[in-house]
Amino acid sequence: MAKMTLEELRKLREEKKQDLTRREVEGKEIQIVVGMGTCGIAAGAKQTFDAIVEQVNAAGLGDQVVIRQTGCMGLCYVEPTVEVAMPGMPNVLYGKMTKDVAKELVTKHLVEHKLLDDHIFDRPAADIMKK
Amino acid sequence: MHYGLGDYVLDITQNAVEAGSSEVAVELDESEEGFRVAIRDNGCGMTSEQRERALDPFYTDGKKHAKRKVGLGLPFLVEAIELAEGRWSLESSKGSGTKVEFFFPASNVDSPPAGDIPGLLLGLLCLPGNHEMLIRRSGPRGSYELKRSELSEAVGGLERASSLGLLKDYLDSVEYDE
């Protein structure tokens, strides 16, 4: 890609905005949170974050998805961890989400609305836990 | 230990952001001799006693995670630098901020690889919060500066995937001043 100035970046954004057929995103927003504590970083969370940004945009969901970083989510043993919240799907905390799994996350969870069974590490529901 | 240099930079910068800073400055300076990094913040800072304890991997102030017994960010960094025979310094004063500076020599085989620097810059800029962040990168090709508020305004915020995609394209191609 050719070198870009800040002014060109602004222009590019305006162009992309105009190109977009205005989709109704209200209430359909998908939220993805990547754990970026020391444990996450050591396990490759930075690469995971990059890969999710790339795959979400490649799938054409860029305007619908918000991606944030956070600290350690308490599951250091299965880093990188990624939390996904979207309408029509349960909130899931995925573990072992290396950059290679990012594509699967987008195609399966975000597009096909199927869970990635081997990567679910959410705490069990409170009502099935023994006190 | 972390794998790449960028992982250390991101980890320590996250500490700076989480210290309640309104301004964080990151300098990345690459030369034939090696890689120098300086991370400055105007956050809560540390007393000299806290500063000493921050280097102990089995110490944490317990604020971020109630039951956790470790704090590995700085200890990881110091271990890696000592292994690679680099240099580091940690200056901090309570209430006015912290500065972490370190250098990995290019000649030492144990210095971590620089890795994907645009990817690192994206991670740094997207650390959550309302702080300002200034990043200055310099190297054999020249130098450039990035200002978080300016970039955020240009791409329409730092959270939506479409904005982050644009920002990544920009970071991959940003112009150096000769």
B42 lies in a domain? Answer: yes
Q: Which of A41, A56, A86 to mutate to test the interface with B (most CBs of B within 10 A)?
A: A41
Write down the mean pLDDT value for chain B: 90
Q: Does B168 touch chain A (CB under 8 A)?
A: yes
Omega of the bond prior to A80 within 30 degrees of 0, cis? yes
In contact, B115 and B122? CB cutoff 8 Å = no
Distance from the Cα of B166 to chain A's closest Cα (Å) equals 7
d(CA B15, CA A53): 23
In contact, A82 and A68? CB cutoff 8 Å = no
CATH of the domain at B29: 3.30.565.10
Q: State the pLDDT at residue A40.
A: 92
In contact, B172 and B162? CB cutoff 8 Å = no
In contact, A98 and A81? CB cutoff 8 Å = no
Q: Does A3 touch chain B (CB under 8 A)?
A: yes
Q: State the pLDDT at residue A5.
A: 85
Query: How many domains is chain B built from?
Result: 1
B169 lies in a domain? Answer: yes
Contact B166 A13 (CB under 8 A): yes
Q: Does residue A1 surpass a pLDDT of 70?
A: no
B63 lies in a domain? Answer: yes
Q: Is A31 in a helix, a strand, or coil?
A: strand
Q: State the pLDDT at residue B174.
A: 84
Q: State the pLDDT at residue A18.
A: 60
In contact, B11 and B77? CB cutoff 8 Å = yes
Contact B160 A66 (CB under 8 A): yes
Q: Which of B60, B124, B160 to mutate to test the interface with A (most CBs of A within 10 A)?
A: B160
Q: Does residue A46 surpass a pLDDT of 60?
A: yes
B120 lies in a domain? Answer: yes
More confident residue, A15 or B156: B156
Alpha helices in chain A (DSSP H): 6-19, 38-42, 45-58, 102-104
Q: State the pLDDT at residue B28.
A: 97
Contact B120 A46 (CB under 8 A): yes
The 3-class SS string of chain A reads CCCECHHHHHHHHHHHHHHCCCCCCCCCCEEEEEECCHHHHHCCHHHHHHHHHHHHHHCCCCCCEEEEEECCCCCHHHCCCEEEECCCCCCEEECCCCHHHHHHHHHHHHHCCCCCHHHECCCCCHHHCCC
Q: Is A8 in a helix, a strand, or coil?
A: helix
Share of chain B above pLDDT 70, in %: 95
Q: Does A15 touch chain B (CB under 8 A)?
A: no
Nearest in space to A37 (alpha carbons), one of A11, A65, A6, A75: A75
Question: Which B residues 23-62 touch A at CB under 8 Å?
Answer: none
ipTM beyond 0.90? no
Give the pTM. Answer: 0.86
Share of chain B above pLDDT 90, in %: 72
Q: Parallel, antiparallel, or unpaired: how do β-strands B142-147 and B97-105 relate? A: unpaired
B16 lies in a domain? Answer: yes
Q: Does B172 touch chain A (CB under 8 A)?
A: yes
Residues B10-68: tens digit of each pLDDT: 999 999 998 999 999 999 999 999 999 999 999 999 898 888 888 888 777 767 666 66
Strand order in the sheet with A92-94: A65-70, A30-35, A82-85, A92-94
Which domains, and CATH codes, for chain A?
26-128 (3.40.30.10)
d(CA A67, CA B162): 10
B178 lies in a domain? Answer: no
Report the pLDDT averaged over residues A70-96.
Answer: 90
Report the pLDDT averaged over residues B141-165.
Answer: 94
More confident residue, B42 or B75: B42
Write down the mean pLDDT value for chain A: 85
Q: Is B18 in a helix, a strand, or coil?
A: helix
Q: Does residue A39 surpass a pLDDT of 80?
A: yes
Q: Is B161 in a helix, a strand, or coil?
A: helix
User: What residue type is B124 in one-letter code?
Assistant: L
Q: Does residue B164 surpass a pLDDT of 90?
A: yes
Q: Does A60 touch chain B (CB under 8 A)?
A: no
B88 lies in a domain? Answer: yes
Q: Does residue A127 surpass a pLDDT of 70?
A: no
Determine the structural domain holding residue B160 and report its residue range. 5-173
A129: pLDDT confidence band, cut at 50, 70 and 90? Answer: very low
B115: pLDDT confidence band, cut at 50, 70 and 90? Answer: confident
